[in-house]
Amino acid sequence: MTTDTSKTEIQKQDSMSTPTLAPHQDAPTGHKPAEGRVGAGLFEPKALIKSLPDAFRKLDPRVMIKSPVMFVVLVGSVLTTIFSFKDPSDWFGWAISAWLWLTVIFANLAEAVAEGRGKAQADTLRKAKTDTVARRLLADGSEEQVPGTALTIGDLVVCEAGDIIPGDGDVVEGVASVDESAITGESAPVIRESGGDRSAVTGGTKVLSDRIVIKITTKPGETFIDRMISLVEGAARQKTPNEIALNILLASLTIVFLLAVATLPPFATYAGTHLTMVVLVALLVCLIPTTIGALLSAIGIAGMDRLVQRNVLAMSGRAVEAAGDVSTLLLDKTGTITLGNRQAAEFAPVKGTTEAEVADAAQLSSLADETPEGRSIVVLAKEKYGLRERHQGELAHAEWIAFTAQTRMSGVDVDGRKIRKGAAGSVITWVKEQGGTVAKDADTIANKISEAGGTPLLVAVEDEQGARVLGVIHLKDVVKEGMRERFEELRRMGVKTVMITGDNPLTAKAIAEEAGVDDFLAEATP
C-alpha cells in the first residue's frame, strides 16, 4: 500500500508573460468514479490459450509428483494409453484414456493461468519501460532521443512539461512540479528542484510544468519500475495452509484406495472373471479424490478472479484465505477514499466583494492553469455561477500568466486589469508589492477552509481601485460516493477501518469524518 507524501500547494505564475490562446474551451465537467466491475481477467479465452503450452509442459513427472493425486492420474493415463495401442479396437480403452488426459491437462491449465497472470502484469510494466523515450543532453549542449532503457549512470536528461521521467535520478538544473501519484498516491503535484532534499525524481512520474535537467543515478535494470517487475514476477501462486493440509489428506486417501484396487485382481480371478488394466485404472481414478485434487488450483484461482472483477488484486490464494481473518483494514486516502484530485468547491468573497466577482476573476485567472485544480475552477464558475466561456476573439489582447514552480500563481492581464490566483503567501506578497492591502477576513476565511480539510487559494486583482484580495477559492479532496455506506458495512462485519494520509491532522480529521472511517493516521510518509 502506498501512502500520501506531505502536501505541497502548487499554484504559480510565470514572470515572463506571453500572449497565448485561452485553454479549457472544452473543460471536463468533473470526475466520475468507474462503475460496475472490470471484465474477468483470469478465465478469459485469450489467457487460457496463452497458458495452454505451460499446461502441457507441466506434464513433466518431476512437476506432477508434487500433487500425488494428479500424479496417480498421470500414471493411469499413460498405462491406459499403452494398453489402448495394444488393442486399437477397444473403444472403451480409448475413451478412458481421453478422459484421463483431459483431467490432468485441466488441472495443469488452472495452475498455468494463475502463474501466467503475474507474467502478463510484468510484460505490461516492461512495455511501459521500453516505450519511454529520453532526451539525453550531449556535451555540446545538443539533445538526442534514446530509449529509456539505454540510459546509464551519469547521463543528463532533459524533461519539460508533459514528459515522462525516463529513469531514477536527481535534478541538477531547474525546478518543476511533478505528478508522483503513480508512485506515492499523492493527489497534489510536488516540487522537485536542484539541490537540497527535494531533488530526487523517480522514473515513470510526469513533469507538469517548467524544464528540468536530471542526472541518472541508477543502473539499467535497477530502477523503480525494474523492482516492480521483479516483485510481480516473483508473485507465484502459493498454496494456503488449508490447501497443504487437504493435499496430505488426499494423498492418504489415494494410498488407501490404491491398495484396495491392487487386491481386486486375485479376488476377480477366484470369482472366475478378469479385470483389465484399463478397468482397474478407471476404477482407481473414480475412487480416489481426483475431482478435489484437480480443482484445488481452480478453486484458488476462482477466488482471485472474483476479486479482480471487483478491482482488487490478490497476489496469491494465501492472501485470499488470510482475508477471512482480517480485523483492521488500512486504506490509502488519495485515489482510494477520495477521487485523487482536489476540486474547486466554492468561492468565498471577502467583505465588500460578491461571489460573482470572485467567480469571474477566478475563472479568468485559471484559463491558463493546466492543473486539475485549475480546470475544476473553470468548470465550477461555469456550472454554479453561470459564467459563459471566454472565447479567443473576446480576449485577443490578453496576456496569460501560466503557473511556474517559482511564483506559485497563475493569472491574466486583460482589459486594464491584472488578476492573480494562487497560494495564500504568494498572492499576499503580490498584492503588497503592487501597493495594495489585504482584507482582514481573508486570513479568517482561509483558516476555516484549512480546518475543514480543504486547501485555500487566494484571488486578487489590480485595477483602477488598486490592488486587493477579492476572495478565497475552496479546493476540496472529494470523497468518493458511497464510501460511508461501505465503511458501515465493514463495521457490521467487525472490520475496523483506518485511513492513512500524508495530510496534516486537521485535514485528515475532516476527510476521515466525512468518509466515516473509524480512525486515521496523518502525516504518514511512503
Residues comprising the chain, all counted: 526
Alpha-carbon distances, residue 170 vs 57, 212, 215, 454, 470 (angstroms): 46, 10, 5, 31, 40
Tell me how far apart the alpha carbons of residues 139 and 154 are, in angstroms, rounded to a whole number.
12
Residue with cell 475496523: 496
* Given 155, 163, 332, 503, the catalytic residue: 332
- Grid coordinates representing 297 are 488450483
DSSP letter for each residue of 142-154: -EEEEEGGG--TT
Backbone angles phi, psi at 301, to 5 degrees: -70, -30
Alpha-carbon distances, residue 65 vs 58, 68, 272, 300, 519 (angstroms): 10, 6, 36, 20, 49
Tell me how far apart the alpha carbons of residues 20 and 398 are, in angstroms, rounded to a whole number.
8
Tell me how far apart the alpha carbons of residues 170 and 184 are, in angstroms, rounded to a whole number.
17
- Residue 7's Cα: distance from chain center in Å? 19
Per DSSP bridges, beta strands 206-207 and 143-147 are unpaired
Distance between first and last Cα of the chain: 9
Alpha-carbon dihedral sign for residues 25, 29, 34, 39? negative
Tell me how far apart the alpha carbons of residues 157 and 215 are, in angstroms, rounded to a whole number.
6
Phi-psi group of 165: left, alpha or beta (phi > 0 → left; psi -120 to 50 → alpha; rest → beta):
beta
For 477, half-sphere exposure in the C-beta direction (CA atoms, 13 angstrom radius) is 30
Residue with cell 491574466: 412
- Grid coordinates representing 160 are 519539460
Per DSSP bridges, beta strands 133-137 and 143-147 are antiparallel
DSSP letter for each residue of 157-206: EEEETTPBP-S-EEEEE-EEEEE-HHHH--SS-EEEESSTTS-EE-TT-E
CB 321 within 8 A of CB 452: no
Specify whether 332 is catalytic: yes
At 269, which helix (H) or strand (E)? helix 264-270
- H-assigned helices in 274-415: 277-287, 290-309, 317-322, 355-366, 372-383
Tell me how far apart the alpha carbons of residues 451 and 445 are, in angstroms, rounded to a whole number.
10
Active site positions, annotated? 332
